[in-house]
Amino acid sequence: MFRKIAILLCVLTTWARCLAEQDSIRVSLLTCSPGQEVYSLYGHTAIRVQIPKDSIDEVFNYGVFDMSKPHFAWHFVLGETDYMVVPIPWEYFTIDYEKRGSSITEQELNLTPDEASRLVSNLIENSQPQNRVYRYSFLYGNCTTKVRDMVEQVIVGRIQYPNTLPHLSAREILHHYTAQHPWAQEGNDLLLGSEVDTIMSERAAMFIPDNMMQAFDGAFIRNGKGDMRPLVRSKKVLLEAKEQVVESEFPLSPLQVMLCFGALCLFILLLEAWLGRHFWLWDVLILLLQGAAGTLLCFMSFFSEHPAVDSNWQIWLLNPIYFIGIPLIIKAATRHKTTLWFAFYFAVLALFLLFSPWIPQVFAKITVPLALCLHTRPISYYLVTEKRGKGEKGKKITRNK
């Protein structure tokens, strides 16, 4: 693949030397509608360059990454995801989107010959092997914002965007695209912190392809003399969207799973109260899962370069500190002694529920129900302990008689 790209770049570089003499360059913004795979839920943006005179029709795609790179998954978790800009022939670019049923909308940009020439030169320069890699950031430096930035760099004057986009937070925007994918939405809400709950500016909201297409529609280029011209010369749909089948990620939604978990916790609580026994192995399992999830959240918060994961208040509920309770519970259970762990556990959970309405973050749907479910463990412990204490007290009275 990269060998073909290198050959293509050599051809484009040779052709670029004559750009100053060209007056038939057509540069277009391509917006691809969302698909049903997780990586395609938000759509895609690219730049199309056409020179009919020279039969050139290439798409510069800033959304290419190489999964064969060593330790790709590890670098992805760390937020060290490197994407590339790669020129792709138009006919090849459309294949994937046609297969998944996405539409492709083209907005031809109203650029002067000089602006178009400089933009194409910059794109070719960006595509060179030594320049094509960039550090990807989903919210602030993705395949859509990179395209916008490239266009803005060559404009003589400045682009004046309309104030037409709805004033929403990043989380609200993401929810719109994950509405039919509850598990993807829940994963986002668990990992993303309070930073994504502030209202985004018009420019920041352009990280979503549809938003940038809408912003470009109403944008004007204002030069130093105050003259204005529309940024978009024409707009048309090149590939019609087809009906896409939404495949269920899991038979139950996250909230339904949590309701089942809550029913199980309540059943175990009632069973323990009836038998007068506390199932400490159930506590160990819960703390293992809670600590493991907390380890992931804390790792993302403190070590990952992903944006908006370092302001996550859900670390209060999911934290590796809960691993500490495992040896304390095991020690108390095997030696038939009491432990203060459950008093600490109850206090932490209660404080989280008490302050959650004032925490400036929209939590995942399972977060508050999970905190309520976890409360059954200290409640069960003290019910059983109290019942056991009364039983032992009754036995002492009987012996004394």
Residues 115-140 pLDDT 10s: 999 999 999 999 999 999 998 888 99
**pLDDT recorded at residue 248:** 65
Q: What tens digit of pLDDT does each residue of 238-286 get?
A: 999 887 776 666 788 999 999 999 999 999 999 999 998 999 999 999 9
* CA gap 133, 4 in Å, rounded: 17
User: Tokens representing 346?
Assistant: 């109850």
* Cα angle for residues 129, 69, 311 (degrees, 5° grid): 100
CA gap 213, 141 in Å, rounded: 17
Query: What are the structural domains of the chain?
Result: 2-165+202-239 (3.90.1720), 254-392 (no CATH)
What distance lies between CA 371 and its chain's CA centroid? 24
Tokens 């695209």 identify what position?
Answer: 177
Tell me, what DSSP letter sits at residue 169?
A: B
Q: Which residue has the tokens 């939405």?
A: 185
Lookup result for tokens 């060998």: 3
Q: What stretches in the chain show pLDDT beneath 50?
A: 2-3, 6-7, 9, 11, 14, 17-18, 20, 397
Phi and psi at residue 88, in whole multiples of 5°?
Answer: -130, 135
Look at residues 267, 308, 336, 325 and name the one whose alpha carbon lies nearest to residue 79: 308
Query: What percent of the chain shows pLDDT beyond 70?
Result: 88
- Residue 174 backbone phi and psi in degrees, to 5: -65, -35
| pLDDT computed for residue 329 by the predictor | 95
Count of CB atoms within 10 A of residue 363's CB?
Answer: 18
Return the pLDDT at 227.
85
CA distances from 143 to 84, 134, 190, 369 (A): 9, 10, 24, 37
pLDDT at 305: 84
Residues 6+ apart with CB under 8 A from 314: 190, 193, 297, 361, 363, 364, 367
pTM for the predicted model, two decimal places: 0.87
